[in-house]
Amino acid sequence: ALDICNATPSDLYRLFIKELPPFASIYLSCDGNIGGDSTSVIAGFYSALGVPTASNPDHLAELLRLLATILGKEADLAGAGTNPSNEKHLASVSRARSVLVADHLATWFPAYLLRAKEVAPSPLSGWVCSALDLMSILVGEDQSTGLTLEAPNKAVSAFSSEMISWITSPGRSGLIITPWDLTNLAESLGLAVRIGRKRFVLEELWARAGEELLVNLHLLALRQMNLFDAYSSSFPSLQAWAERAGRTAELLSVKARTGPTDARES
């Protein structure tokens, strides 16, 4: 399925568990964690369709399974002949497909795939390209962004624990920071750290590198802004991702110039 069959268990673990767990809630929620309101919204979509809610309704595998079910139903109805009942049912199923793609896939999956292109093991590169092609077909030209831009507030105007929470929440910062990124950050700073929870790694790097970390995070944010912007004509939701990453890059640049607050302060 989507050129994934040549990948080893180690490849799958590296991409889907270690680097980029494919849960929509991680990339859409305010805290960057699995579950919460984002998962509840997706679970509500299952219920609205009359489909049993999956145990992990926001996991990519479940969303693609639901999409396949809807597409199959749509194809069956389209080939069943024209009568008022069929046409009404087909229109309803087509709307469900549009909502699933627009609200629960296009809002995060293209950004996820662009980062996956950078960190995925080579046996999964074909899967990433196939998934991008699939999303390009599904999204179409009339796709809205489905996202709103949240500006940093006073709580994140300094490099504090709140700022770290902001940076590690993709839905707020526009940044998808992976263990691969953290390893590269540490190496660029000439440091060795144990890669664990993102916020703890960033706190340790800040304690040891100070403002130099902000400079490197600023560059990381600029790279992701440019990455998302480059594909925004194909995936309009990426414009919001690029704007968020740009806002975060600007904030990090200011903090690097003016001197940040200790990340251990609150």
SS3 letters across the chain: CCCCCCCCHHHHHHHHHHHCCCEHHHHHCCCCCCCCHHHHHHHHHHHHHCCCCCCCCCEHHHHHHHHHHHHHHHHHHHCCCCCHHHHHHHHHHHHHHHHHHHHHCCCCHHHHHHHHHHHCCHHHHHHHHHHHHHHHHHHCCCCCCCCCCCCCCHHHCCCCHHHHHHHCCHHHHCCCCCHHHHHHHHHHCCCCCCCCCHHHHHHHHHHHHCHHHHHHHHHHHHHHHHHHHHCCCCCCHHHHHHHHHHHHHHHHHHHHHHCCCCCCCC
For residue 265, being part of any structural domain is answered with no
Tell me the pTM. 0.90
For residue 4, being part of any structural domain is answered with no
For residue 53, being part of any structural domain is answered with yes
Final residue in a domain of this structure, among 116, 139, 162: 139
Kindly report the CATH number assigned to the domain that includes residue 60.
1.10.3480.10
18 and 101 co-located in one domain: yes
For residues 216 and 6, what is the distance between their CA atoms, to the nearest angstrom? 35
Question: pLDDT value at position 31?
Answer: 87
188 and 101 co-located in one domain: no
160 and 112 co-located in one domain: no
Final residue in a domain of this structure, among 139, 165, 194: 139
For residue 246, being part of any structural domain is answered with yes
Phi-psi region of 59 (alpha: psi -120 to 50; beta: other; left: phi over 0): beta
- Asked whether 158 and 261 are in contact (CB, 8 A), the reply is yes
Total number of domains in the chain: 2
For residues 7 and 257, what is the distance between their CA atoms, to the nearest angstrom? 45
- Asked whether 178 and 144 are in contact (CB, 8 A), the reply is no
Question: pLDDT value at position 108?
Answer: 96
62 and 130 co-located in one domain: yes
**pLDDT tens digit at each of 266 positions of the chain:** 566 778 999 999 999 999 999 999 999 988 899 998 889 999 999 998 888 999 999 999 999 999 999 999 999 988 877 788 888 889 999 999 999 999 999 999 999 999 999 999 999 999 999 999 999 999 874 555 556 555 555 445 556 788 899 899 999 999 999 999 999 999 999 999 898 999 999 999 999 998 899 999 999 999 999 999 999 999 999 999 999 999 999 989 988 877 645 444 44
For residue 50, being part of any structural domain is answered with yes
Structure tokens at 224: 């992701």
For residue 1, being part of any structural domain is answered with no
For residues 115 and 179, what is the distance between their CA atoms, to the nearest angstrom? 12
* Closest to 120 in 3D by CA, of 32, 215, 13: 13
238 and 161 co-located in one domain: yes
35 and 121 co-located in one domain: yes
217 and 247 co-located in one domain: yes
Question: pLDDT value at position 1?
Answer: 54
Angle between helices 211-230 and 237-258 (to 10 degrees): 160
For residue 147, being part of any structural domain is answered with no
46 and 128 co-located in one domain: yes
- Asked whether 30 and 156 are in contact (CB, 8 A), the reply is no
Residue range of the domain that includes 51:
9-139
14 and 135 co-located in one domain: yes
Question: pLDDT value at position 143?
Answer: 57
103 and 203 co-located in one domain: no
